[in-house]
Amino acid sequence: MFDFKGLIDTLRRRSHDDEDTEPSATKLIGELPRDQTLLALTEIVKALAELNRNAKIGLKERFRAVQAFDDKARPLMTLLISVFQGKKTLEGIPGRQVLPSLIACWQELGSAYKLCLKQHAQQPAARFADDSELITLRAIAYYAEQARWAYLRHHEPELRIWRNLNHLFLIADSAEFAYKDIARYPDEAPSPIVNYYMQIVLLKLSEPERRRTEDLAFINHILPRCVGLIRPEKIIRVREQSYAVNLDDTLPPVKLRRNMVGERYRYFDTEALGEHFRSLSPHPMDSAALNPIELALREQLLADLALVYSHTGLGRSRRSERLNKEIPATVAVGLTQIAQALQSATKESTWEAWTLGDESSNGIGMHYRPSYDDHLEVGDVLVLRYDGHTGLNVVRRLVKLRDGQIRVGAEKIAPQVQPVTLQVTGQPKPVWALYCPESPHSNRLLLLDSPLYQRQNEYIISAGPQHIRVKLGPVQERLAKYVLCTFHVLEKSVDPVAPKPPAKS
């Protein structure tokens, strides 16, 4: 059995001879069984929380203790992040099980470094000046990590996260070391504090609620390469800048308004970043590794990011006014579930209970409490049923609120939808598709699985006794799983009516 108590006691020990303490802790971590990684991190989180609650510990001792916990937690966190992402496995530990401990560790480490800064501010020491810069960097990095993983999972970050990010950046900017290259750890290249702050600013401004999980991972990957194109400015230039943040506030950057004036405001001109993404759009990064569907989606993403970060993108507005509803509704998500729900309309178990929050001529806003295995994604299709209406919609926005609810914004695709089957060559059984007789996008549309689409392909569409041979037309919209396309009718036929048996005399 691994000696967790010995590990934590070793990390807590504040010996004057660090050479005796450090190797023993390193040795214990090295001997840690792989399947005990999560338990070890949990014990470190508990010890950090206890340290943060103890106000009697001096600054020097606190800083040394936090560093020790940080150094030993880092390799554990690296492994567990890979487990959460599905890149590595730990026997008996599902990926989603590791995330609460990771978030708790980022929270406690961020708080621990912030407490060091607080003690230094109360009793400044000249010999601690260089350490205070490193502490600020590590603190803002851990708060940035909390914000990053909230956005990557479509979660709404807690207000305290942006409050601390803004406050820590203000400290660094006011003390004029925000742009100084500092190595966060000995094995990392030096980087300025402003880069850590701006990566989260730009991730927020990328409108993560509108992105697929895969797209958010790509944005998170590419932003560090272009973060140098944007710098926060202290002087307001309304006609040139796009966004502003109040470093005294608990909110992230928002669209710039003329009344946003004050010494604690910082302003951002993102036009150069928009131009950068515009140049990447025709030739996406790593395009050779993408299949044709993902390549088309990547091009769409880059083009949309170019608009979002441009001055032109600031002029976007809601197409139509919303009307509040707050009425019960039922929903079926995904092509197969929709087809089955519409085929068996009397079986309520095939429908999910949601709430219709608001509606406009173009879209709907909904909210619901998810089940444990909820996998709703931006770009999914759903049918909403309420007050006798049943229409097809595409999920455009997704935010997981702090109260546990999920808020969804969807665009209306068709006011009516009918499940049909496609007879596909090489497949023994027909597959589901959805026929939309009316749509704002076209007179009639067909929704089918993406791999089935090839322009000019011919299929037999069947609905009851009716059979229609069609040729697929241009794509109206390509989603991750589905394609919305037009079609041309080539031939119609109807199954003959079976003769009635003769009446018995």
Report the CATH number that the domain containing residue 356 is assigned in CATH. Answer: 2.40.10.220
Q: Identify the domain boundary among 358, 386, 414.
A: 414
- Tokens (6 digits) for 83: 């487990």
Give yes or no for a contact between 49 and 17, defined as CB atoms under 8 angstroms apart: no
Strands (E), 229-349: 243-246, 254-255, 265-268, 323-333
Low-confidence spans in the chain with pLDDT less than 50 = 1, 14-21
Does residue 392 sit in helix, strand or coil?
Answer: strand
Q: 70 and 158, same structural domain?
A: yes
The answer to the question of residue 232 being in a domain is no
Give me the residue label for tokens 């796009």. 242
Q: Identify the domain boundary among 150, 172, 204.
A: 204
Handedness of CA 55, 61, 64, 65 (dihedral sign): negative
Q: 19 and 129, same structural domain?
A: yes
Q: 357 and 344, same structural domain?
A: yes
Q: How far apart are CA 156 and CA 376, in angstroms?
A: 16
The answer to the question of residue 170 being in a domain is yes
Q: How far apart are CA 472 and CA 10, in angstroms?
A: 68
Q: How far apart are CA 197 and CA 180, in angstroms?
A: 13
- Provide the domain count of the chain: 3
Q: How far apart are CA 278 and CA 229, in angstroms?
A: 14
The answer to the question of residue 286 being in a domain is no
Q: How far apart are CA 459 and CA 424, in angstroms?
A: 7
24-60 b/e (C-beta count within 10 Å ≥ 16 → b): ebeebbeebeeebbbbbbbbbbebbeebbeeeeeebe
The answer to the question of residue 16 being in a domain is yes
Q: How far apart are CA 458 and CA 329, in angstroms?
A: 37
Q: 199 and 336, same structural domain?
A: no
Q: 188 and 128, same structural domain?
A: yes
For the chain, the C-alpha Rg in angstroms (whole number) is 28
The answer to the question of residue 58 being in a domain is yes
The answer to the question of residue 181 being in a domain is yes
> Of 498, 346, 482, 352, whose CA–CA distance to 422 is shortest?
482
Q: 441 and 402, same structural domain?
A: no
For 429, the domain range is 418-494
Instruction: Give the list of residues 6+ apart from residue 442 with CB closer than 8 angstroms, or none.
Output: 476, 486
Give yes or no for a contact between 411 and 365, defined as CB atoms under 8 angstroms apart: no
pTM assigned to the model: 0.90
In the prediction, which pLDDT does 387 show? 87
Instruction: Give the list of residues 6+ apart from residue 306 with CB closer than 8 angstroms, or none.
Output: 274, 275, 277, 278, 281
Q: 162 and 108, same structural domain?
A: yes
Q: How far apart are CA 315 and CA 322, in angstroms?
A: 19
The answer to the question of residue 233 being in a domain is no
Q: 490 and 374, same structural domain?
A: no
In the prediction, which pLDDT does 12 show? 62
Q: What distance, in Å, lies between the first and last C-alpha atoms of the chain?
A: 86
Give residue-wise pLDDT tens across range 170-187: 999 999 999 999 999 999
Q: 120 and 27, same structural domain?
A: yes
Task: List, in sequence order, every residue forming a beta bridge with 459; answer none if it has no partner.
Answer: 470
Q: 403 and 429, same structural domain?
A: no
Q: Identify the domain boundary among 204, 233, 250.
A: 204
In the prediction, which pLDDT does 397 show? 97
Q: 401 and 436, same structural domain?
A: no
> Of 225, 111, 226, 129, whose CA–CA distance to 177 is shortest?
129
Q: 328 and 442, same structural domain?
A: no
Q: How far apart are CA 420 and CA 467, in angstroms?
A: 10
Instruction: Give the list of residues 6+ apart from residue 410 with CB closer than 8 angstroms, or none.
Output: 363, 364, 365, 366, 382, 384, 393, 394, 395, 396, 397
The answer to the question of residue 96 being in a domain is yes
Does residue 349 sit in helix, strand or coil?
Answer: helix
Task: List, in sequence order, every residue forming a beta bridge with 454; answer none if it has no partner.
Answer: none
In the prediction, which pLDDT does 189 show? 95
Burial zone of 329 (CB within 10 Å; 0-12 exposed, 13-18 middle, 19+ buried): buried
Q: How far apart are CA 72 and CA 70, in angstroms?
A: 6
